Amino acid sequence: MERAAYLHAVMKKSVLVGIDLGGTFIKFGLVSTNGQIIFKSSVPTPKGRQAILGEFVLITEFLRQMAQKQGLRLQAVGVGSPGIVNADTGKIIGRSPNIPGWQGAEVGKTLTKATRLKISVDNDANVMALAEHRLGSGKGFSSGLYITVGTGIGSGIILDNRIWRGAHFAGAEIGHTIIEKNGKPCKCGKCGCVEALAATSAFIEYYGSKTPESGGVKYIFDRAKKGDAKARQAIAIAADYLACGIGSALELLNPEVIVIGGGIAAGGAGYLQAVRQGLKKYASASCRQRVVVKSAKLGNDAGLIGAAMLTQDTH
Ligand SMILES: [Zn+2]
């Protein structure tokens, strides 16, 4: 190779692949090393462990070719996955109810062998937390609790600018902390979890149980804006339960920022305000007064950006 061609090759700008595995779609994209999306797309999630792993390889090869055409060099691949993930080996070690058969998948090993690239894998809530911490609402804070409120409640904890995973990668699950003894059954098998009392289905139930009309999250927020007292009450109940869970987390962690995302948080400032109000009851002044409660900034892109950023993270 001529020296000029050689220099051109080594000087190529590096890019990353981010893959965000969900129960319905796999979102993926090419992301710059500072977290900007260069290209993004999605495919329906295929059924079965091998089919999903095969899809990851196809996505990576597709993006590698795309990068090459743009004169970019693919450096690493990051994957965010539901379930408990061993971030050291990239293996799915816990159940992920929305993706049957996924437990046991050797994501790290399979992709390393197939692509010869550096592969990083972590829990989807952890990578979302990382994205918001680096580029979103948590930027500038060294510690934070990042919560996504949707059909489930996922969360990630950043302490001293690093993801806190727990000794066995099973930590940071605010959704499954119990806030009501012998309360409503949760999908995890326990009762009275934050998820059972504050996620989408509970929220809709608080509205539906008081009126024959029933609607989705957006409908309830629209009704609240129009002055529907029952809708406002449903928002207040769901927000109060979430605040109860967050209150205990504040006592334990004393983070600088709480970032809340997902379908319900997107409903508006009224929800966040109700969470802040609730915290006055559930957290002592010393850990509550200076905490900043914000809505998430990166929306649906947080998963793939965070997955890509994970490859730059040393742990
Ligand atoms: Zn639970």
pLDDT-derived band at 213 (thresholds 50, 70, 90) equals: low
Contact indicator for 296, 136 with CB cutoff of 8 Å: yes
Distance 64 CA to ligand 1 centre (A): 39
Distance separating the N- and C-terminal Cα atoms of the chain: 37
Distance 74 CA to ligand 1 centre (A): 39
Does the model's pTM come out above 0.95? no
- For position 264, what pLDDT does the model report? 81
Distance 153 CA to ligand 1 centre (A): 9
Distance 229 CA to ligand 1 centre (A): 29
Q: Does position 43 have pLDDT exceeding 60, yes or no?
A: yes
Distance CA 301, CA 62 (A): 19
- For position 214, what pLDDT does the model report? 62
pLDDT-derived band at 97 (thresholds 50, 70, 90) equals: confident
Distance CA 257, CA 286 (A): 14
Q: Are strands 13-21 and 25-32 parallel, antiparallel or unpaired?
A: antiparallel
Distance 174 CA to ligand 1 centre (A): 9
Distance 196 CA to ligand 1 centre (A): 7
Distance 16 CA to ligand 1 centre (A): 34
Q: How many helices (H) and strands (E) does the chain have?
A: 11, 12
Distance 184 CA to ligand 1 centre (A): 10
Distance 65 CA to ligand 1 centre (A): 42
pLDDT-derived band at 211 (thresholds 50, 70, 90) equals: low
Distance 186 CA to ligand 1 centre (A): 5
